[in-house]
Amino acid sequence: LAKTTQPISMDSYEGQEVNITCSHNNIATNDYITWYQQFPSQGPRFIIQGYKTKVTNEVASLFIPADRKSSTLSLPRVSLSDTAVYYCLVGAFAGGTSYGKLTFGQGTILTVHP
């Protein structure tokens, strides 16, 4: 599975847009990019997944450039409740079929301040 690199931590303020970038230089042709969110004392929660260009849902947007060597998770107008760890994963799914396992990196600790 492709290795990912994310910032260890980020700080923001309520109402701002937050962009978390993930590098995945060795992404394979069939790999998808998936982001999870984890609150303290809870299991991770699936946020969004994409293959190329842009994907948007009710929670976030995912921007993927043409070379797919990086991706950016965008959280619009964050609130205090968005304080969490955000994980970028590459691989694990291809064309909608799961490979059966997820490999997590360290993740990015996002802290939203009042």
Partner 1 sequence: NAGVTQTPKFQVLKTGQSMTLQCAQDMNHEYMSWYRQDPGMGLRLIHYSVGAGITDQGEVPNGYNVSRSTTEDFPLRLLSAAPSQTSVYFCASSYRDRGSLGYTFGSGTRLTVV
Residue of 53, 54, 104, 111 that binds partner 1 (CB under 8 A)? 104
SS3 content of the chain, % helix, strand, coil (to 5): 5, 50, 50
Q: How far is CA 111 from the centre of its chain?
A: 15
For the CB of residue 111, give the shortest distance to partner 1 in the complex, in Å. 15
Residue of 30, 53, 79, 98 that binds partner 1 (CB under 8 A)? 98
- Span interacting with partner 1, options 17-25, 37-45, 64-72, 73-81, rule CB under 8 A: 37-45
Element (H or E) spanning 19, and its range? strand 18-23
Q: How far is CA 56 from the centre of its chain?
A: 12
d(CA 62, CA 47): 10
Query: Is there binding between residue 29 and partner 1 (CB under 8 A)?
Result: no
How many chain residues touch partner 1 (CB under 8 A)?
A: 26
Query: Is there binding between residue 49 and partner 1 (CB under 8 A)?
Result: yes
Sequence-distant (6+) residues with CB within 8 A of 98 are 92
Query: Is there binding between residue 13 and partner 1 (CB under 8 A)?
Result: no
Q: Which chain residues interact with partner 1 by CB under 8 A?
A: 32, 34, 36, 41-46, 49, 87, 92-94, 96-107
